[in-house]
Amino acid sequence: MSPNQVGSRFCELHMLDKRERDRDSTKRRPAPAPLKALERDPLLVKPSWRSQRGLDWFVFFVATVLTGFGPFVAVYLTSQHWTQLDIGLVLSIGGVASLLGQMPSGALVDAARSERVVAGLAIVATGASALALGLWPVSPVVQVASVVQALAGCILGPAIAAISLGLVGHDGIGERLGRNARFASLGTGAGAAAMGASGYLIADQAVFFVAAAFIIPALLALRFIEEKEVDPERAHGGIEGEPCLHHRAAPMATVIRHRTLLIFAGCVLLFQLANAAMLPLLGSILTMRSSQWATALIAVCMIVPQLIVALVSPWIGRSAQRIGRRPLLLLGIAVVSLRGILFASLSNPFLLVAVQLLDGIAAAVFTVLTPFIIADITRGTGRFNFSLGFVGTATGIGASLSTTLAGYASDHFGSPAAFLALAAFAAAGVALVWRLMPETRPRKAD
């Protein structure tokens, strides 16, 4: 080997050794903590007042738009001389579409890079469905509008939850969900009042024109939410500041086999199995025992619990952050069981209405805790919204079975037996939480 070749080889070995030493020193040298924090989480400040208020009012107006469906559809189609069989078919088609659309809608929101865009498209589709119902009350149009509205509703729930989580993160989600529940409850009440008045003073189809008109302020409120303040990674259940892109998210099959998620879905199913049929069954009893006051009493049963939800939801969000989720979950299901026992025991219509006010507590607990607990369980998986859809499916199954089973029990064994059966389902939910449901609140670092 020539001297030149020896020198060249020495230089190569020297440079290689230097690169190895530099790499080792880089591995050993920790990154400065403030810089590392900045790289991981660009959203170190709280979301702006503008974005928070924008989300408040978007939730409010979404609730008002969705109020235009359900009972108002049945009243409107009856006035258009539809048979009860055809009305029931339309409502069933919408219910099936809602049940089947829960998990795909959640997966869609998880895959989206802008939850605001998804939410905006869903609310526009809901408004278009309302217009179609008001303008063309013919069977094909009504059926398609019912399916579109059901699927849009499946998207709006996860989209709002995703925007909330992306905006405030896991540490602030409790209070944020409480605010969501408050504004949703107020929106439902305002929507019912506005649409009831328009239907009474103008015409039945005016309800759907009013519902469609509410999408304009909903879209304006959505524009107030700053896109840059909604972290897309934590909106899908990722850890703040750490990439959790859709193609790197946990497999769906793995997520739905998560033991705690399955237990919680069972709790929600039992809650709905016990709760969904109580108000319809109570309505039948009030009509038989006090027909003169039945309509007014049912209105009280619907509106006042919504006011209770608006009052206590923020407190539930803060309490879940402070004392944990499990005690409040036990409270929410136990209240349903107590309600069923009291309904079976009392006969005075006004006392029955007073007992129904407990529904506001149970509704507030589950409205706030459902996305809260799912956010805990799915943290770091990137499947927050898909898991919301999974639990939403359990909700739909429980509600569907509840009315059928309660109706059968009432017809064959009487209303008190039906209420006691519903109370037993809630008691089974209490036992499930007590025995198997773990506390999902993350432990604070020492």
pLDDT digits (tens, 9 = 90+) for 64-87: 888 877 667 777 777 788 776 777
Q: Could you tell me which CATH class the domain 253-446 is placed in?
A: mainly alpha
- Residue 45: pLDDT band with limits 50, 70, 90: low
User: Checking phi first, is residue 221 left (phi over 0); if not, alpha (psi -120 to 50) or beta?
Assistant: alpha
Between 212 and 189, where is the model more confident? 212
- Residue 26: pLDDT band with limits 50, 70, 90: very low
Alpha helices in 276-383 (DSSP H): 278-289, 294-323, 326-345, 349-356, 359-377
CATH 1.20.1250.20: which residues of the chain? 47-222, 253-446
- Confidence check: pLDDT of 272 > 50: yes
- Confidence check: pLDDT of 411 > 80: yes
CATH architecture of 47-222: Up-down Bundle (1.20)
- Confidence check: pLDDT of 321 > 90: no
CA distance linking residue 225 with residue 184, whole number of Å: 17
- Residue 238: pLDDT band with limits 50, 70, 90: low
For the chain, the average pLDDT equals 80
- Residue 403: pLDDT band with limits 50, 70, 90: confident
What pLDDT, on a 0 to 100 scale, did the predictor assign at position 128?
Answer: 93
DSSP states along 100-167 = HHHHHHHHHHHH-S-HHHHHHHHHHHHHHHHHHHHH--SHHHHHHHHHHHHHHHHHHHHHHHHHHHHH
Distance, first Cα to last Cα, the chain: 63
Between 139 and 10, where is the model more confident? 139
What pLDDT, on a 0 to 100 scale, did the predictor assign at position 82?
Answer: 79
What pLDDT, on a 0 to 100 scale, did the predictor assign at position 25?
Answer: 45
Residue listed under structure tokens 């059928």: 404
What pLDDT, on a 0 to 100 scale, did the predictor assign at position 249?
Answer: 60
